[in-house]
């Protein structure tokens, strides 16, 4: 007996998973399940790392990255650095459904969203403002956007000092401290017709240099789906992960016969062999309903599954390498 339909979600984002399951259980498509599921996290600001009011960049602004992929048509929609629009994954869905393009970025992605009827609103909240203020007080080379003053004139703020965040990224210890800076929602779903979709939504990395895009909106990196095989989604240190296309590799390993767990392990191990200090995880779902995950750089990684065999969601805790 099959466990399809099924949805799996990175981290413990249960509300999103329940929403996606309701869509699937009502006969909805995998694409709708992923979009509506991730939208819940965008509304609820899951962990402060999805949606508005989290991860302010160097200028204090929150911008969003999202991807949705249709595993039947091998078509995607993605947005990067989306400004002033709350539902990034729905904008990505509009790119998928209503354009010949795949990926729109920045202010011009916002323009597209507005033309499609999305409401423009500030993504800054008192929480993201406070986060930014605290960080700013420790990094005096940043212009103070909120107080409308220039960088501290007593310091010599050259281009490298200005972007202290990227300097910090070079230090291992900083990555260790900042582990849970990164909790993107990634989802993979199979609907009653056997169609597979995958997607992600995130506000990226805290204090990023404006313009920085992580792994999440990049097809094959943040997520990937192919009806012939299955799907995968990733989360973690996006600056490193996007160099390895871990979601694509996971799907390709399953295509060659690996189990979802082994496929995800291969993708994670590939990154770890070059960057032993990276933090990240991959969830994988095969088109027969088998699922698994692998992770690196933290003790355990939780993900959520909701399938036809169970009457509720299950949280699975994976021990990481
Ligand atoms: C990023 N990968 O922008 C995102 C953050 C996150 O899991 O967790 N991703 O780097």
What one-character-per-residue DSSP string does 80-93 give?
Answer: EEEES-S-HHHHHH
Name the packing angle between helices 14-25 and 30-44 (round to 10°).
150
CA distances, 193 to each of 6, 30, 93 (Å): 11, 9, 20
Least Cα distance to 166 among 58, 71, 55 occurs for: 58
Q: Which residue has its alpha carbon closest to ligand 1 atom 7?
A: 235
Report the complex ipTM: 0.94
* 316, 65, 269, 229 alpha-carbon torsion, rounded to 10°: 70
Average pLDDT, rounded, for the chain = 90
* Span 61-71, pLDDT tens digits: 999 999 999 99
Task: List all residues whose CB is within 6 A of at least one atom of ligand 1.
Answer: 182-184, 202, 204-205, 214-216, 235-236, 238
Are 79 and 228 in contact, with CB atoms under 8 Å apart? no
**Cα 133 to ligand 1 centre (Å):** 22
Global pTM reads 0.92
Please say if the pLDDT value at position 168 is more than 80: no
* Span 24-81, pLDDT tens digits: 999 999 999 999 999 999 999 987 788 999 899 888 899 999 999 999 999 999 999 9
Q: Is 184 a catalytic residue?
A: yes
Question: Of 56-60, 87-91, 99-103, 152-156, which range is least confident?
Answer: 152-156
What pLDDT shows up at residue 135?
80
Strand ranges (DSSP E) for the chain? 6-10, 63-70, 75-83, 103-105, 185-190, 196-202, 223-226, 230-236, 280-286, 291-296, 300-307, 314-319
Q: Which residue has its alpha carbon closest to ligand 1 atom 2?
A: 238
The vertex-67 CA angle with 212 and 210, nearest 5°, equals: 15
In testing the pocket of ligand 1, which one of 216, 217, 278 has its CB within 8 Å of the most ligand atoms? 216
In testing the pocket of ligand 1, which one of 54, 184, 200, 240 has its CB within 8 Å of the most ligand atoms? 184
Q: Which position has the higher pLDDT, 177 or 307?
A: 307
**Cα 236 to ligand 1 centre (Å):** 5
Between CA 181 and CA 314 the distance in angstroms is 24
């Amino acid at each position: 007996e099959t466990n399809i339909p099924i949805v799996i979600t990175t981290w413990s984002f249960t509300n999103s998973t329940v929403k996606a399951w309701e869509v699937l259980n009502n006969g909805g498509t995998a694409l709708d399940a992923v979009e509506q599921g991730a939208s819940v996290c965008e509304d609820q600001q899951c962990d402060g790392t999805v949606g508005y009011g989290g991860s302010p960049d160097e200028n204090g602004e929150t911008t969003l990255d999202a991807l949705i992929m249709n595993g039947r048509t091998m078509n995607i929609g993605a947005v990067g650095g989306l400004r002033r629009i709350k539902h990034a994954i729905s904008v990505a869905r509009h790119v998928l459904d209503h354009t010949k393009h795949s990926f729109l970025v920045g202010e011009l992605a916002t323009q597209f969203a507005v033309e499609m009827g999305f409401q423009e609103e500030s993504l800054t909240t008192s929480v993201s403002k406070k986060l930014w203020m605290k960080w700013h007080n420790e990094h005096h080379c940043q212009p103070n956007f909120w107080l409308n003053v220039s960088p501290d004139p007593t310091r010599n703020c050259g281009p490298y000092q200005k972007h202290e965040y990227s300097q910090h990224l070079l230090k291992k210890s900083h990555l260790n401290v900042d582990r849970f800076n990164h909790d993107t929602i990634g989802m993979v779903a199979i609907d009653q017709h056997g169609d597979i979709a995958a997607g992600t939504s995130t506000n990226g990395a805290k204090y990023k240099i404006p313009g920085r895009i992580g792994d999440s909106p990049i097809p094959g990196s943040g997520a990937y789906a192919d009806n012939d095989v299955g799907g995968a989604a990733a989360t973690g240190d996006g600056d490193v992960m996007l160099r390895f296309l871990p979601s694509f590799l996971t799907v390709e390993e399953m295509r060659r016969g690996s189990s979802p767990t082994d496929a995800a392990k291969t993708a994670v191990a590939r990154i770890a062999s070059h960057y032993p200090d990276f933090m990240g995880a991959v969830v994988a779902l095969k088109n027969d309903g088998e699922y698994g995950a692998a992770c690196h750089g933290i003790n355990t990684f939780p993900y959520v599954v909701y399938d036809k065999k169970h009457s509720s969601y299950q949280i699975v805790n994976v021990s990481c390498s």
